[in-house]
């Protein structure tokens, strides 16, 4: 929107004290206008930005939502004749939700990015800028003003950086020293020559947490984003998504906050002073199955006030189908089969087939076989066949993963200084240790057994576990530092690599998740290493208790932190005693 009054920029020049005073008035009144931060900058062209934008386009890294004319993005004078200043505004929004609803089996939930939690920020920013324009025109009737929000010609981050709102982070977000990156941005172009503010000199330093955490590697370098790989962009598209991206989307329905969540500059920052931006929990974390049955009217009534609604219900419903697959939610199988067989939208049918292949099971395979016989769309048919192949391969693998001798696992209990332990062995070696007596952990063990030793039975046997029992007793007595046992570790290839690395951590020594990630040759897989560490089936023997936080703190442990501390203390005490004897 443009507000135009008679008068050229030249008629406003030469009155710097007046403009400095007006600037101070604007800064003082900004909070009452709905503005949390405001900055002023020159309206000079963003010449250094032009080559960056051109390279971005040449590499195919644009989202397609940007202003197509690069010259307009660089030159403010193409939006307002003879501009003198740019005004950048920021409005802070919340990053935390009070009492968020839980996602449970049969009641799985998706999540919207925080920028879409409250009222549509386009409306919030435009309302604030309309009040700002009104105030300026009440003081300077001859002022000329053009405002922009999000999809305006200028690059709002470039304007905000020049105007001193914050610095441009490696995650491509403007990071305010006060507000963090949880801010919406808008800008005004005006012919009033306001004194400019000083850009923020703070930066990210050596930190690369956002680059390391980006789920799809869309952050290809500091301040460099390939929007075509960004989950925030992908969740807003309307077509089919490749499997690589569907796996990474998780349960996101709109947008992605990962690079902001991990940013140290955002630690402890959440803003709840604007009621219109606070989340409605059932909207910000909606149930997935009801979302799939919403009509256009119901969708608009539920999500219409959120920025997430601008693309309509189709992308969000596709993302809900993906989320159910990633949850591997068996309760959703009937609904997914119905979508695959009856939804008129090819994208929904093909995506439902993928989700069913993620969940697995004979019911899903039989439904896909039926759908293949009748499907007419070539793209959907290809996805059905891919899903069919995965399910058949999974069925073959499940049938093959059984004990070769008598389909029996043996278990025994033992007492220790950290409480009772339940040991389990296959004919190939020790395969599981649970904290507690068998009566307490039998359900967990049976589920684990059916996954990795399908069709087997659990049988009590002291003889089968005698060697493991004896070596553990020696360890707890301080008489053994290394174990000499055959192990039968069941898990993914990545998990086994992590567990093999854990076996190399010496007695008394510790390592961090980062150390393990580097040890296995995947230095960026720190989080995945943490997940594999937590799923270690043979604690103590495979010493996951020797993994601590990079800052030296204890991190999670399957048996509880008290047991972890006990194991580390036991080893330290025995090492100290041994040193004294020498």
Residues annotated as part of the active site: 544
Half-sphere exposure for 468 (CA within 13 Å, toward CB): 30
Q: Three-class SS of residue 148?
A: strand
CA dihedral sign, ordered 488, 493, 495, 501:
positive
SS3 per-residue string spanning 309-342: HCCCHHHHHHHHHHHHHHHCCHHHHHHHHHHHHH
CA pair distance 223, 451, nearest whole angstrom:
43
Q: Three-class SS of residue 38?
A: strand
Q: CB 123: neighbour CB atoms within 10 A?
A: 13
Sorted by sequence, the CB contacts under 8 Å of residue 365 that are 6+ apart come out as: 388, 391, 392, 395
| Pure H helices in 424-481 | 438-452, 466-476
CA dihedral sign, ordered 62, 67, 68, 73:
negative
Calculate helix-pair angle for 333-342, 313-327, nearest 10 degrees. Answer: 140
Q: Which two tokens stand for residue 434?
A: 């649970």
CA pair distance 157, 80, nearest whole angstrom:
19
Phi, psi angle pair for 435, to nearest 5°: -80, 120
Beta carbons of 197 and 164 less than 8 angstroms apart: yes
Residue 122 burial (10 A CB sphere; 0-12, 13-18, 19+): middle
Q: Three-class SS of residue 455?
A: coil
Residue 386 burial (10 A CB sphere; 0-12, 13-18, 19+): middle
């Amino acid at each position: 929107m443009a507000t135009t009054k008679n008068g050229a920029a030249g008629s406003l020049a030469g009155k710097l004290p007046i403009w400095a005073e007006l600037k101070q008035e604007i800064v003082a009144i900004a909070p009452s206008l709905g503005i949390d931060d405001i900055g002023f900058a020159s309206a000079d062209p963003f010449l250094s930005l032009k080559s960056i934008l051109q390279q971005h386009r040449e590499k195919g890294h644009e989202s397609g939502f940007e202003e197509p004319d690069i010259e307009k993005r660089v030159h403010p004078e193409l939006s307002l004749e003879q501009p003198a200043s740019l005004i950048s505004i920021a409005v802070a929004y919340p990053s935390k939700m009070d009492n968020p609803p839980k996602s449970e089996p049969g009641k799985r939930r998706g999540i919207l990015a925080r920028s879409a939690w409250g009222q549509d920020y386009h409306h919030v920013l435009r309302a604030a800028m309309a009040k700002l324009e009104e105030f300026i025109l009440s003081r300077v009737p001859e002022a000329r003003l053009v405002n922009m929000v999000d999809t305006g010609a200028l690059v709002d981050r470039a304007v905000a950086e020049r105007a001193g709102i914050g610095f441009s982070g490696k995650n491509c977000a403007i990071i305010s020293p006060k507000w963090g990156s949880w801010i919406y941005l808008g800008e005004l172009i005006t012919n009033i020559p306001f004194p400019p503010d000083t850009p923020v000199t703070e930066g990210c330093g050596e930190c690369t947490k956002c680059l390391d955490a980006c789920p799809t590697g869309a952050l290809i370098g500091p301040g460099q984003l390939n929007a075509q790989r960004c989950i925030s962009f992908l969740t807003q598209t309307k077509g089919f998504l490749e499997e690589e991206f569907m796996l990474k989307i998780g349960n996101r329905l709109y947008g992605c906050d990962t690079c902001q969540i991990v940013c140290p500059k955002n630690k402890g920052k959440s803003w709840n002073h604007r009621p219109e931006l606070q989340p409605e929990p059932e909207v910000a974390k909606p149930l997935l199955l009801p979302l799939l049955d919403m009509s256009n009217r119901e969708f608009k009534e539920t999500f219409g006030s959120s920025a997430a609604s601008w693309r309509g219900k189709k992308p969000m419903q596709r993302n809900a189908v993906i989320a159910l697959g990633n949850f591997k939610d068996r309760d959703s199988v009937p609904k997914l089969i119905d979508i695959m067989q009856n939804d008129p939208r090819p994208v929904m049918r093909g995506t439902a087939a993928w989700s069913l292949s993620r969940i697995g099971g004979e019911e899903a395979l039989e439904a896909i076989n039926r759908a293949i016989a009748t499907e007419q769309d070539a793209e959907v048919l290809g996805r059905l066949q891919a899903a069919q192949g995965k399910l058949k391969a999974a069925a073959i693998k499940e049938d093959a993963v059984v004990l070769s001798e008598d389909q029996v696992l043996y278990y025994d209990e033992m007492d220790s200084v950290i409480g009772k332990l339940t040991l389990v062995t296959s004919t190939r070696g020790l395969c599981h240790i649970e904290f507690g007596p068998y009566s307490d952990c039998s359900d967990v063990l049976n589920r684990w057994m059916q996954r990795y030793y399908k069709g087997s039975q659990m049988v009590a046997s002291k003889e089968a576990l005698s060697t493991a029992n004896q070596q553990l007793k020696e360890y707890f007595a301080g008489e053994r530092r290394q174990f000499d046992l055959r192990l039968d570790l069941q898990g993914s290839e990545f998990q086994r690599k992590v567990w093999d690395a854990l076996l190399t951590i010496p007695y008394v020594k510790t390592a961090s998740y980062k150390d393990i990630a580097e040890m296995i040759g995947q230095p960026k897989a720190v989080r995945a290493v943490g997940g594999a560490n937590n799923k270690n089936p043979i604690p103590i023997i495979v010493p996951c208790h020797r993994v601590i936080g990079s800052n030296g703190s204890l991190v999670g442990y399957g048996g509880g932190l008290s047991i972890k501390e006990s194991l580390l203390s036991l080893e330290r005490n025995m090492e100290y005693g041994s040193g004294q004897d020498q």
